[in-house]
Amino acid sequence: MKNVAHFTFGIFGNISALFLFLAPLITFRRIMKNKSTEQFSGVPYVMTLLNCLLSTWYGLPFVSPNNLLVSTINGTGAVIESIYVLIFLIFAPKKEKGKILALLTLVLAVFAAVVLISLLALHSHTRKLFCGLASTIFSIIMYASPLTIIRLVIKTKSVEFMPFFLSLFVFLCGTSWFVFGLIGKDPFVAIQNGFGCGLGIVQLILYAIYHKNKGAGDVGSIEVGKMNGKVAN
């Protein structure tokens, strides 16, 4: 029964995480249509890519047993984020392109370092501990990014920049992976997604308070899409 519940919450987590990974599509449709990145930042997508890579690595059986579902969704996320970064680099101005390329190089170097250290210098429990800590640190950083949107909602008393369904999927995704981590007795999965669950609750509460003041337009989806690039482990 425990294994069934663990698998079930992992599947729910995969589905809700996929919706969040696909949320920025509206941003990139606009970028490709206008052939310009305008004022959008590529940093969130590069950082999300790093988070997905680290989480994919952490979920592999020889690093962290019983977390393969973490690897499947984050591996998918890594592919999606790579496409986002590539599109951004194609249409970004020269200065911004150089900035993103430098950050991408750093991100890939960090990931390579984690992989090499965990393979060559660490074994068993210490390998899981090292990779889990690396994944958790960057995941919490990613989950902290929506705080700017929450502050904006409170300041403007409007949910124009925080669409309901994205907030809902932040909650569902964070909750699914939080329970997945608890059932699997994996603090690295549970802690970071506990943050996501709490963040989703705050967003839904704010939506309930200010929903009558919501606006319409691409910007809301774009901004929340950027902030929710990472959602699982």
User: pLDDT by residue (tens digit) across 118-146?
Assistant: 999 888 889 999 999 988 888 777 666 66
Largest Cα–Cα distance of the chain, in whole Å? 56
Residue 160's φ and ψ, nearest 5 degrees, are -55, -35
Q: Whole-prediction pTM value? A: 0.80
Q: If you average pLDDT over every residue of the chain, what do you get?
A: 83
Residue 81: predicted pLDDT: 94
d(CA 20, CA 40): 18
- What is the rounded distance in angstroms from the CA atom of residue 163 to the CA atom of residue 223? 10
222 confidence band (pLDDT: 50, 70, 90): very low
CB 89 within 8 A of CB 49: no
pLDDT at 211: 81
Distance CA 83, CA 119 (A): 28
In this prediction, residues 24-49 reach a mean pLDDT of: 86
- Return the pLDDT at 129: 92
Specify the long-range contacts of residues 103-107, CB closer than 8 Å, at least 24 apart.
Answer: 103/42, 103/43, 103/46, 103/47, 104/46, 104/49, 107/46, 107/47, 107/49, 107/50, 107/53
The pLDDT assigned to 232 comes to 54
| Amino acid 144: pLDDT | 65
pLDDT interval class at 178 (50, 70, 90): very high
pLDDT higher than threshold 50 for residue 226: no
Choose among 19, 144, 123: nearest CA to 131.
Answer: 123
CA distance 46 to 49: 5
For residues 213 and 80, the model is more confident at 80
Residue 231 has pLDDT above 50, yes or no: no
Handedness of CA 38, 32, 96, 102 (dihedral sign): positive
pLDDT tens digits along 141-166: 766 666 667 777 888 888 776 777 77
Give the pLDDT of residue 114.
Answer: 93
Residues written for the chain: 233
